[in-house]
């Protein structure tokens, strides 16, 4: 039995840019690729799924690329390959502020004053190439002149944002958590690969785990997840925040930003900055001077912590 599947159709650049994955009800991760540089007609759409594409999924994906009408989709079973790694092959190094993120396939020597992180594509989200992760790196870089004693990265993925925080605030207590044990193992491996130490790792669903609350309150909270869980977790994230703590939120589409902001305003937080990158928004907030009481988390909104690539 295959672990995952890939459905491929040709498309144009206009079709690729028009795809809004957050507004499409397709149980697959969508990736678009420029096949020929500067050729507006030679693009490709790949849909990665854990289930074999059925007629409904094929029709839904085909509807996104009218130019491929009449073209038979290529469907491949990815039995022995990790679909996340395959979808991220060939990623070029990126620079955000003082940070350089690269893979073994595209090594780079960081320049003076830069901190490089080798983060290979794999089973966890967060190579730095998605706008949410790179946006968080940029946001953290702008906070480098502040002092933080306790930092937590909720939904750490590969550990990249926790590593960046560790670099910026070497004296801080840094904690990285994820609901997925695989992600925590990946973070542990990446920490060794990048000579990062002193990051506490916790497998946890949200921010209510006893080890998380016991180590708090935190004066910097990073959560690069998805809009639904971010909204559901607003009360518990506010509860572990120290007075006037800084909160960085990402993983939300620009169209979802107002709903996320409203949830955190209700929890006593103040929105300080919104950085929109394409379809995605990164928020910086300040927590209340005192936790807002009487708020309950919405467990229904916490069910899906899946991350976009």
Both 127 and 26 in one domain: the answer is: no
Res. 220: pLDDT tops 90: yes
Contact 160, 196 (CB under 8 A): no
Query: CA-CA distance, 248 to 224, in Å (whole number)?
Result: 8
pLDDT at 32: 78
Residue 307 domain-assigned?
no
Residue 309 domain-assigned?
no
Instruction: Map residue 188 onto helix, strand or coil.
Output: helix
Burial readout 92-117 (b: 16 or more C-beta within 10 A, e: otherwise): ebbbbbbbbbbbeeeebeeeeeebbb
Q: Is 116 annotated as a binding residue?
A: no
- Of the residues 87, 112, 145, which one is the last residue of a structural domain? 87
Q: Is 298 annotated as a binding residue?
A: no
Both 75 and 223 in one domain: the answer is: no
Q: What is the mean pLDDT of the chain?
A: 84
CA-to-CA dists, residue 16 to 34, 35, 65, 87, 211, angstroms: 9, 12, 8, 15, 43
Q: Give Rg (Cα) of the chain.
A: 20
Tens of pLDDT along 259-304? 999 999 999 999 999 999 877 899 999 999 987 666 666 655 554 4
> Residue 132 sits in which domain range?
94-302
Residue 46 domain-assigned?
yes
Query: CA-CA distance, 69 to 61, in Å (whole number)?
Result: 11
Of 61 and 16, the structure prediction assigns the larger pLDDT to: 61
Tell me the CATH number at 111. 3.40.50.150
Residue 294, sorted as left (phi over 0), alpha (psi -120 to 50) or beta, turns out to be left
Q: Please count the structural domains in the chain.
A: 2
Q: Is 224 annotated as a binding residue?
A: yes
Q: Is 82 annotated as a binding residue?
A: no
Q: Of 235, 207, 216, 223, whose CA–CA distance to 296 is shortest?
A: 235
């Amino acid at each position: 039995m295959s672990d995952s599947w890939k459905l491929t159709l040709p498309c144009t650049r206009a079709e690729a840019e028009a795809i809004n994955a957050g507004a499409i009800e397709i149980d697959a991760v969508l990736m678009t690729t420029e096949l020929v540089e500067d050729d507006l007609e030679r693009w490709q759409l790949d849909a990665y799924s854990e289930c074999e594409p059925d007629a409904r999924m094929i029709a839904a994906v085909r509807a996104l690329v009218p130019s491929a009408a009449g073209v038979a989709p290529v469907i491949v079973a990815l039995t022995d390959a990790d679909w996340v790694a395959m979808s991220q092959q060939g990623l070029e190094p990126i620079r955000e502020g003082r940070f350089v993120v690269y893979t073994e396939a595209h090594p780079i020597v960081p320049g003076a004053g830069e901190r490089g992180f080798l983060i290979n594509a794999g089973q966890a989200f967060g190579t730095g190439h998605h706008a949410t992760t790179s946006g968080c790196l940029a946001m953290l870089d702008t906070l480098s002149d502040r002092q933080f004693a306790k930092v937590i990265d909720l939904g750490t993925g590969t550990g990249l944002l926790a590593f960046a925080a560790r670099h910026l605030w070497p004296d801080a207590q840094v904690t990285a958590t994820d609901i997925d044990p695989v992600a925590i193992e990946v973070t542990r491996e990446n920490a060794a690969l990048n000579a990062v130490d002193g990051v506490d790792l916790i497998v946890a669903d949200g921010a209510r785990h006893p080890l998380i609350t016991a180590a708090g309150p935190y004066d910097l909270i990073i959560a690069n997840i998805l809009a639904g869980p971010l909204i559901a977790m607003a009360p518990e994230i506010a509860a572990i925040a120290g007075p006037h703590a800084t909160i960085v939120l990402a993983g939300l589409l620009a169209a979802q930003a107002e709903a996320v902001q409203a949830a955190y305003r209700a929890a006593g937080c103040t929105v300080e900055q919104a950085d929109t990158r394409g379809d995605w928004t990164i928020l910086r907030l300040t927590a209340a001077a005192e936790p807002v009481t009487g708020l309950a988390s919405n467990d229904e909104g916490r069910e899906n912590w899946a991350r976009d690539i």
